[in-house]
Amino acid sequence: MPKCTGISALILRYASRSKEEKLNIVKKLGYKNLNKGLRRLDNFIQAGQCPESLREKLPTVLGLEPSAIQQAYELTLTQQGEEKENARRNREEHERKTFRPHIWVKHELKNPPLGSICIVAFIGIEHWKVITLPDDIAGLEWSEQFNTVREEIREHQSQEDVDRSMFGKVTGYLYRKTYDDSFLLSSDGTLLEIYSPKVRKPEVYLKVGNKKIQEGI
């Protein structure tokens, strides 16, 4: 069953899960290609989203007042917002629990080119974006931390293909001392500023149908 109990549940009241009832709705919606119409209807039920032109036909098709459709759709949007926020909180909680100090490599590209996404997903984003550090580095004197970080940056910069990664050229480095405390350094290891915004790691994954089969970090 769909997660949403707004517009999805409303449609399912009239379509249950039988193909015959769904076909009847698809025909009333005006689809000539019934298989395509069924796919669209199923996607609508699963996602709770559809083109406005289709949503405008639902009151007539289902024999309901437009206000009932609008109310159900607004409820769906509220529920989707709550689900998204819960997912964000769960992800942050997981990241906090599993956090280890590291250097996050900043590149000119936020995400890899479309043709490279499969490679990045299989190998893992950390191959290009993360430089590991000793777990106890945050407990060292700042001078020792800074020297260790600068040495790792120099080592990274010495790599022949440093500016030919899936994310383009390196533009800087973030020393992530804790989940909340980061320090921005230039490509030559110069400390630029304390960098407070959280690192938003790109979500890279392979998808078959509606199922994610491989995720990056």
Question: What pLDDT digit, counting tens, does each position of 125-174 carry?
Answer: 888 899 999 999 999 999 999 999 999 999 999 998 898 888 999 999 99
Choose the weakest-confidence range: 85-94, 95-104, 117-126. Answer: 117-126
Choose the weakest-confidence range: 29-38, 95-104, 142-151. Answer: 29-38
* d(C-alpha 195, C-alpha 178), whole Å: 12
More confidently predicted of 34 and 7: 34
The pLDDT value recorded for residue 5 is 61
Per-residue pLDDT tens over the stretch 167-212: 999 999 999 999 999 999 999 999 999 887 777 776 655 555 555 5
Q: What average pLDDT does the segment 94-119 reach?
A: 88
214 falls in which pLDDT band (50, 70, 90)? very low
Choose the weakest-confidence range: 42-51, 93-102, 172-181. Answer: 42-51
Residues 104, 176: contact at Cβ < 8 Å?
yes
The pLDDT value recorded for residue 13 is 81
Instruction: Provide the angle, in degrees to the nearest 10, between the axes of the packed helices 7-15 and 19-28.
Output: 110
- Percent residues over pLDDT 70 in the chain: 88
Q: pTM, whole model, 2 decimals? A: 0.68
